[in-house]
Amino acid sequence: MQYTYKKEEKLKKRKLITQLFTEGSSVSEFPIKLIYLAFDHDSPYKVQAGVSVSKRNFKRAVDRNKIKRLLREVYRKNKHLIYQSKHTKKHIFMFIYVAKKEIEYNVLEENMITLLNKFLEKEIEK
Protein backbone atom coordinates (compact mmCIF):
# COMPACT_ATOMS: atom_id res chain seq x y z
CA MET A 1 0.00 0.00 0.00
CA GLN A 2 1.44 3.32 -1.07
CA TYR A 3 0.86 6.30 1.18
CA THR A 4 0.19 8.79 -1.59
CA TYR A 5 -2.62 11.20 -2.40
CA LYS A 6 -2.59 11.49 -6.17
CA LYS A 7 -4.68 13.64 -8.47
CA GLU A 8 -7.05 10.76 -9.30
CA GLU A 9 -7.87 10.39 -5.59
CA LYS A 10 -8.98 14.00 -5.19
CA LEU A 11 -12.64 14.91 -5.38
CA LYS A 12 -12.90 17.84 -7.78
CA LYS A 13 -15.99 17.44 -9.96
CA ARG A 14 -18.72 19.91 -9.01
CA LYS A 15 -21.50 17.45 -9.97
CA LEU A 16 -20.11 14.79 -7.62
CA ILE A 17 -19.69 17.27 -4.78
CA THR A 18 -23.27 18.49 -5.19
CA GLN A 19 -24.57 14.93 -5.27
CA LEU A 20 -22.49 14.07 -2.20
CA PHE A 21 -24.02 16.89 -0.15
CA THR A 22 -27.59 16.12 -1.26
CA GLU A 23 -27.57 12.31 -0.99
CA GLY A 24 -24.63 11.54 1.31
CA SER A 25 -24.53 10.25 4.87
CA SER A 26 -22.29 11.57 7.59
CA VAL A 27 -20.16 10.50 10.53
CA SER A 28 -18.34 12.87 12.83
CA GLU A 29 -15.57 12.84 15.37
CA PHE A 30 -14.78 16.34 16.60
CA PRO A 31 -13.18 18.34 14.93
CA ILE A 32 -13.79 16.43 11.66
CA LYS A 33 -17.06 15.60 9.94
CA LEU A 34 -17.07 13.04 7.13
CA ILE A 35 -19.77 13.12 4.48
CA TYR A 36 -19.68 10.04 2.28
CA LEU A 37 -21.58 8.42 -0.54
CA ALA A 38 -21.17 5.04 -2.23
CA PHE A 39 -20.54 5.99 -5.85
CA ASP A 40 -18.93 4.12 -8.73
CA HIS A 41 -16.59 6.85 -10.00
CA ASP A 42 -14.07 6.68 -12.85
CA SER A 43 -10.98 6.71 -10.63
CA PRO A 44 -8.97 3.48 -10.22
CA TYR A 45 -8.88 4.17 -6.46
CA LYS A 46 -11.48 3.03 -3.93
CA VAL A 47 -12.06 6.54 -2.57
CA GLN A 48 -12.07 10.05 -3.97
CA ALA A 49 -11.74 12.57 -1.15
CA GLY A 50 -12.00 16.31 -0.71
CA VAL A 51 -11.28 18.64 2.19
CA SER A 52 -13.14 21.75 3.34
CA VAL A 53 -12.58 24.41 6.01
CA SER A 54 -15.18 27.05 6.77
CA LYS A 55 -14.43 30.63 5.83
CA ARG A 56 -16.74 31.71 8.64
CA ASN A 57 -14.50 30.15 11.29
CA PHE A 58 -11.14 31.00 9.68
CA LYS A 59 -11.14 34.38 7.95
CA ARG A 60 -7.54 34.25 6.74
CA ALA A 61 -6.84 32.00 3.73
CA VAL A 62 -3.44 31.15 5.22
CA ASP A 63 -5.12 29.53 8.22
CA ARG A 64 -7.66 27.64 6.09
CA ASN A 65 -4.94 26.34 3.78
CA LYS A 66 -2.80 25.15 6.69
CA ILE A 67 -5.69 23.19 8.18
CA LYS A 68 -6.53 21.69 4.77
CA ARG A 69 -2.91 20.58 4.37
CA LEU A 70 -3.02 18.95 7.81
CA LEU A 71 -6.31 17.16 7.03
CA ARG A 72 -5.00 15.86 3.72
CA GLU A 73 -1.82 14.64 5.38
CA VAL A 74 -3.70 12.88 8.19
CA TYR A 75 -6.00 11.22 5.64
CA ARG A 76 -3.04 10.21 3.44
CA LYS A 77 -1.29 8.50 6.34
CA ASN A 78 -4.39 6.63 7.55
CA LYS A 79 -6.34 5.78 4.40
CA HIS A 80 -4.92 2.27 4.53
CA LEU A 81 -7.69 1.51 7.08
CA ILE A 82 -10.26 1.87 4.30
CA TYR A 83 -8.22 0.22 1.57
CA GLN A 84 -7.50 -2.86 3.69
CA SER A 85 -11.18 -3.40 4.46
CA LYS A 86 -12.86 -5.88 2.14
CA HIS A 87 -16.34 -4.53 2.90
CA THR A 88 -16.06 -1.12 1.28
CA LYS A 89 -17.10 -0.32 -2.26
CA LYS A 90 -16.07 2.80 -4.17
CA HIS A 91 -16.95 5.98 -2.29
CA ILE A 92 -16.63 9.73 -2.45
CA PHE A 93 -15.65 11.56 0.75
CA MET A 94 -15.65 15.13 1.97
CA PHE A 95 -13.80 15.90 5.19
CA ILE A 96 -15.11 19.07 6.84
CA TYR A 97 -13.20 20.76 9.64
CA VAL A 98 -15.81 22.00 12.15
CA ALA A 99 -13.73 23.39 15.03
CA LYS A 100 -13.35 27.13 15.51
CA LYS A 101 -9.68 26.90 16.49
CA GLU A 102 -6.71 25.08 15.06
CA ILE A 103 -6.03 21.70 16.69
CA GLU A 104 -2.67 19.96 17.05
CA TYR A 105 -1.62 17.38 14.48
CA ASN A 106 -1.46 14.39 16.83
CA VAL A 107 -5.00 15.04 18.14
CA LEU A 108 -6.23 15.45 14.58
CA GLU A 109 -4.63 12.13 13.60
CA GLU A 110 -6.24 10.26 16.51
CA ASN A 111 -9.64 11.69 15.60
CA MET A 112 -9.19 10.79 11.93
CA ILE A 113 -8.45 7.17 12.85
CA THR A 114 -11.55 7.05 15.06
CA LEU A 115 -13.62 8.67 12.30
CA LEU A 116 -12.49 6.18 9.65
CA ASN A 117 -13.22 3.28 12.01
CA LYS A 118 -16.74 4.66 12.64
CA PHE A 119 -17.25 4.86 8.88
CA LEU A 120 -16.13 1.24 8.45
CA GLU A 121 -18.48 0.08 11.22
CA LYS A 122 -21.41 1.80 9.48
CA GLU A 123 -20.45 0.23 6.15
CA ILE A 124 -20.25 -3.26 7.67
CA GLU A 125 -23.75 -2.82 9.14
CA LYS A 126 -25.25 -2.14 5.67
**pLDDT tens digits, residue range 44-80?**
889 999 999 999 999 999 999 999 999 999 999 999 9
pLDDT > 90: percent of the chain: 79
Q: What is the DSSP string of the chain?
A: ------GGGB---HHHHHHHHHH-EEEEETTEEEEEEE---SSSSSEEEEEEE-TTT--SHHHHHHHHHHHHHHHHHHTHHHHH-SS---EEEEEEE--SS---HHHHHHHHHHHHHHHHHHHHH-
Residue 89: predicted pLDDT = 87
Structural domains of the chain ordered from first start: 7-125 (3.30.230.10)
